[in-house]
Structure 1
Amino acid sequence: MSHPNPAPQPPAPIPAVHVNALNSAETEEAVESAGVSKTKQSKSVTFILAMFAGVFIGFGALFYLIVTCDPAMTWGPKRFVGGLAFCMGLVLVLCCGAELFTGNSLMASNLAARRISLPALVRNWVIVWFGNLAGALLLVALIAGAGTMGLNDGLVGDAAVATAVSKVTLAPGTLFVRGVLCNILVCLAVRIGFAARSVADKVLGVLLPISGFVAMGFEHCVANMFFIPVGLAAKAMGYGAGVDGVASLSVQGALYNIGVATLGNIVGGAVVVALAYWYVNNHKPSRRPRG
């Protein structure tokens, strides 16, 4: 007995491909959803991901030192090229997955939206801050053992010392404001990363904000968790002896810089960017009649 041919099946729908970046409201939702997920991670996972971020930002900082130690480069191009090199750190954080303290300042919008509690926010920030520090210090130890400070006839080591000295000798007010300005740009770059549809979008989107904050000399607490300790290590190895103010480079100076920069970064990221965008995207226009 013959069977009739089965009826043809309609073709499977072709999934829509979205190429436009998320708008501001959609980006805010993506930021807040990610913030909720961060509070649900185990402490060990959060700490390991934070260590990754400390290492990644440290790689970007080391890249900066290597490309800016050439004395033949003039000041402007050196700052620009160094800023582009430093971008590698945030590209790795956004594309590979890691927990960065400065970027997690955006979680303040979750708190404002009552999607997370204050203890959950503080717990995440504390774990991530110390995880970033542990990752940065681990990379410093590895770099010291790798002999990287001796590259270019020791100019990399000299640059490490000079960069660290320039950071620990900043006045408190200047350091704080530079921390605020830094994390405004960093958190805007992170928002671009959330708005992006592809890896290429993420990479291109972060280049200008991150290279800009580096070129402008702003202060990033996680980057300084690498810059200053590696400067201390280079000083201990005999580099940078001729750098003006090298005597001020100490553990106390490192704690001072990182502490004040952290406070500035919190204000810049949590208040200026996170809370402002939360308000903008949740503000309801007044219904009162004009007259």
Structure 2
Amino acid sequence: MTANALETGARSPYAMAELGEQIALGKANKAVSKTLLLAIMAGMMISLAGVFYTTVSAGAGDMPYGMAKLIGGITFSMGLMAVVLCGGDLFTSSTLIAIPAASGKVSIPQMLKNWGVVYVGNLIGSLMIVWMIVYTDQWHGGHGEIGHSALYIANAKLSHSFGQALVLGILCNLMVCMAVWMSYSARAASGKMLAMVLPVAMFIAAGFEHSIANMYLLPVGLAIKSVAAPEFWAEIGKTPEYFSNITLDNILWMNLLPVTIGNIIGGSILIGLFNWGVFLKKH
């Protein structure tokens, strides 16, 4: 094999695990102020992908269900691409700090502190985008179909039981961290982007639950439901009662709490510790 092939070819799974541990260690050791800013940035990126997803899904009622979900999922993958390529700190992928923690290179309190700062930063960034979208009336686009799409997505996400939301959170971060992990195999930006498209599209199409995406998708639905005028409801042919699942209590206790727990399990254990045990654990 030539030197050029070694430089441009995919990394081996062992090399991917080593790189993953180095990246996670770097995240854990960053200053809190930098972590918070990068987390706010990541929250904004994921939320903007949520705007893209909601907009593309608007008026898709006549399209076959699976195709509409596939297109929405592909558009949403923009968010993870932006986070990975721009170095943002996203809570769901920060669960991979469990790898250096398992190696003894990061303490458990240090890992939990990072998760807390990143989670708060992601929430701040997400709510900033919610405010901008609602303030600018962007949701009125398409004769109200964008707002209708946002309400439909939020209402559906809040229809799960606590246990269902938790398991859907596990499945989601299994796919998100798999996407991030697969990106470690690539040396070029194009390869990293391509590796992330289908895992993200899959979790969106299947209806899995991502805590940080939901920090945008759920509050924007609640905000629209709260501020929409009678003319909007007449335009979409629905009433606020139709979206009865969209309440603050449901958002906090029936979605964000179980989904966050599930995301931690899916990312830290099913991807992080599994790969650590196979490739990095010293026997």
Task: Give 1:37's aligned residue.
Answer: 26
Q: 1:232 and 2:222 equivalent?
A: yes
* TM-score (ref. length: structure 2): 0.92
> How many matched pairs?
272
Q: Deviations over 1:167-224 (max 9, x none)?
A: 1221111111110000001001111222210110011000000001100000000000
Q: 1:212 and 2:210 equivalent?
A: no
Offset at 1:247? 2.4
Query: Which residue, out of 227, 246, 249, partners 1:249?
Result: 246
Task: Give 1:280's aligned residue.
Answer: 278
Q: Deviations over 1:50-88 (max 9, x none)?
A: 001100000111111111112332211100000001001
* TM-score (ref. length: structure 1): 0.89
Partner letter of residue 36 of structure 2? Answer: F
Task: Give 1:3's aligned residue.
Answer: none
Once the two structures are superposed, the pairs formed by residues 1-291 of structure 1 within 5 Å of their partners are 18-70=7-59, 71-238=61-228, 241-242=238-239, 245-256=242-253, 257-282=255-280
- Kept in 2: contact 1:111–1:121 (CA 8 A): yes
Cα distance in 2 for residues equivalent to 1:248 and 1:189: 31
Cα distance in 1 for residues equivalent to 2:4 and 2:244: 63
Partner letter of residue 176 of structure 1? Answer: L
- Kept in 2: contact 1:162–1:243 (CA 8 A): no
Judging changes above 3 Å, is the alpha-carbon distance between structure 1 residues 275 and 137 closer, same or farther for their aligned structure 2 residues? same
Task: Give 1:5's aligned residue.
Answer: none
Cα distance in 2 for residues equivalent to 1:86 and 1:203: 12
Judging changes above 3 Å, is the alpha-carbon distance between structure 1 residues 174 and 62 closer, same or farther for their aligned structure 2 residues? same
Judging changes above 3 Å, is the alpha-carbon distance between structure 1 residues 49 and 76 closer, same or farther for their aligned structure 2 residues? same
- Kept in 2: contact 1:178–1:219 (CA 8 A): yes
Judging changes above 3 Å, is the alpha-carbon distance between structure 1 residues 78 and 244 closer, same or farther for their aligned structure 2 residues? farther
- CA RMSD in angstroms, aligned pairs only: 1.7
Task: Give 1:289's aligned residue.
Answer: none
Secondary structure at 1:234's aligned position in 2? Answer: helix
Partner letter of residue 251 of structure 2? Answer: A
- Kept in 1: contact 2:44–2:126 (CA 8 A): yes
Percent of aligned pairs with the same amino acid: 34
- Kept in 2: contact 1:182–1:268 (CA 8 A): yes
Partner letter of residue 43 of structure 2? Answer: G
Judging changes above 3 Å, is the alpha-carbon distance between structure 1 residues 186 and 160 closer, same or farther for their aligned structure 2 residues? same
Unaligned 5+ segments in structure 1 are: 1-13, 286-291
Partner letter of residue 220 of structure 1? Answer: H
| Higher Cα Rg, which structure | 1
Cα distance in 2 for residues equivalent to 1:254 and 1:87: 23
Higher helix proportion (structure 1 or 2): 2
- Kept in 2: contact 1:161–1:243 (CA 8 A): no
Cα distance in 1 for residues equivalent to 2:161 and 2:4: 56
Cα distance in 1 for residues equivalent to 2:265 and 2:28: 21
